[in-house]
Structure 1
Amino acid sequence: MRMAISTGGRNFDKFVYARFGRSPYFLFCDSDDPQGTGDYQENPSLLGIDGAGIVVADFVAKEKVDVLITGRLGRNALKVIQAMNILAYTAPETMTLMEAIMAWKEGRLTQISESGARSSKMDVLNNV
């Protein structure tokens, strides 16, 4: 399956990034061979203030992923992800990308069915 994971860096030892719409990078890979197929792409909406979740959800959907792993999704991003039939799972930001992939394969991640708390504009500006 094709996967997308929000991350703060370009390495399998980096951690899952909690804030989907503000994630600096996304790892796109095949779940059967993540290291051999890994492709890191920058978030196209990283510096935008409003509507980042929708833009990023559309970006992920255009990559034709089946599975998304992130910390949390905002209400609008979740609607887009669900409309595209992408299964979204939450992973703690203390989990590396490879650990998150393994946890997903083992069925240890929780599927996201509700949106997380929305960040305020000040959080975005302060990079919280």
Structure 2
Amino acid sequence: DCIRVWSVGGELRQLMRPPSNPQQRCTPVTSLDVRASGASGDGIAGQLATCDVYGIFSLWDVERGAVVRAWDLRQPLSDLAFGPEGMVAAAGDRGDCFLIDPRRPTDVGVSAPR
């Protein structure tokens, strides 16, 4: 499986393969979001974020078609979205909400259900 990036004119621009997962099988991507180049005037290049059924959240460099960083959040992930300043929120299958700031990759916030 791979993520296909198309131009506005309908040309295939990039085939991006998700990183290996713990099961070494096909990686069903459950959500994807895009952050445009220079969003919020911060000068950061275009980014794409994905999450999958194995709990892997990946941040991609769209121009290179490569994973910049991946986090194993240890539970199936169902949705994600970019927020202000490049932060990303991801929803876990057990009800946890993860807040990830790619500028501080070891500091992942978790809000668990009560």
**TM-score of the superposed pair, with normalisation by structure 2:** 0.27
Ranked by relative contact order (alpha carbons within 8 Å, sequence separation 6 or more), the top structure is 1
| Structure 1 or 2: more helix by fraction | 1
Higher gyration radius (CA):
2
| Structure 1 or 2: more strand by fraction | 2
**TM-score of the superposed pair, with normalisation by structure 1:** 0.24
